[in-house]
Amino acid sequence: MNVRHPPSLASLALMQGLIRAVLCVIAVGLGGTEAACGQSGVDLWGNGRAAGLGHTTAALAEGTGVHANPAAGAGAETRRVAFFGRQSYGLAALRYGSVSLRWPQALWDWQMTLLGGASTFGGEGYREGHYSLGIARTLSFGTSRAVSAGLLVRYYHTRIEGYGAAGAVGLHVGALFPLLPALRLGVHATNINAPALTKGEPLPQTLALGLHYRVRSGVQVVADVFKDLSFPASLRGGVEVRPLSPIALRAGITSSPVRFTGGVGLRLRRLRVHLAAEQHRTLGWSPAGALSVRW
């Protein structure tokens, strides 16, 4: 009688490493240095708006999604639920979807914003899940300009068919600093507690430092320096222009590897619709879309 024994940690780690290598080759263009090879890194991609801005998220105060700077929710006055989806390079195995929630809440005299989200990536044989809970708050230090801060706890879960599953908890922090009336600095660090799915397989620890500059009414520029501890720094940037109040046109670029992005955003009363596409010179196009509702 054939008896199937459960996989050992060594075999699970080996299979995770092999699948991770394949995902990294696909995702970064046959050897690029994207910061996301600890798992697939899709939880670091950005959100519906940032997808058209070169995935520049660190200083976006209106960032939504499970990937945004957690400080972006501070000071929110409306509740919001957002849905995001992307399919990389036309491959069903690289399909990603997420839902996120932002909920302003007063606790006694303490005004804060509760954050939550869930996302999934992969196919039948390989599946990742990410589940997040967090809090954001605006802090005043006796000046006219307040600092926004956020804390997010994320549970990572990876399942490989025939080999089992593993999970880990990561801690993310972020802050937004107003430098001038039209200029804001953002900082976002992920997995500062160095979590790992299995021994020797750490999740990516990243740091993003960004600027958001409002050139004039209807024109904004964003830029990030994104660094994974295991890879060289990546530069990201984008421009958003509103020719009409309900319409936003976006373009962006990233390095390591070089990718170009573009997108459009629509404001329809309580609804926000974002469409975006990313072009990689070797692997082709990756479409993305998002829908959010405020109330």
What ranges do the domains of the chain cover? 9-294
The position carrying tokens 């404001």 is 267
Query: Are the CB atoms for 114 and 103 separated by under 8 Å?
Result: yes
* pLDDT exceeds 80 at position 42: no
Backbone angles phi, psi at 290, to 5 degrees: -145, 150
Say if residue 178 is preceded by a cis peptide, omega within 30 of 0. no
Burial 177-187 (b: 16+ CB within 10 A, else e): bbeeeeebbbb
From 265, 292, 271, select the one nearest 51 (Cα to Cα). 265
| The predicted structure's pLDDT at residue 20 | 52
From 9-23, 68-82, 232-246, the region with the lowest mean pLDDT: 9-23
**Best CATH choice for the domain 9-294 from the list 1.10.3470.10, 2.40.128.630, 3.40.50.720, 2.40.160.40:** 2.40.160.40
Cα 275 to Cα 291: distance, rounded to the nearest angstrom: 9
DSSP string, 150-168: EEEEEEEEEEETTTEEEEE
* pLDDT exceeds 60 at position 204: yes
**3-class DSSP assignment, residue 92:** helix
The model's pTM: 0.82
**DSSP character for 5?**
P
| The predicted structure's pLDDT at residue 248 | 96
Mean pLDDT over all residues of the chain? 84
| The predicted structure's pLDDT at residue 276 | 95
Query: Cα dihedral angle (160, 163, 169, 172), rounded to 10 degrees?
Result: -40
| The predicted structure's pLDDT at residue 189 | 95
Q: What is the tens place of the pLDDT at every residue in 222-265?
A: 999 999 888 889 999 999 999 999 999 999 999 988 999 999 99
Burial bucket for residue 202 (CB in 10 Å: 0-12, 13-18, 19+):
middle
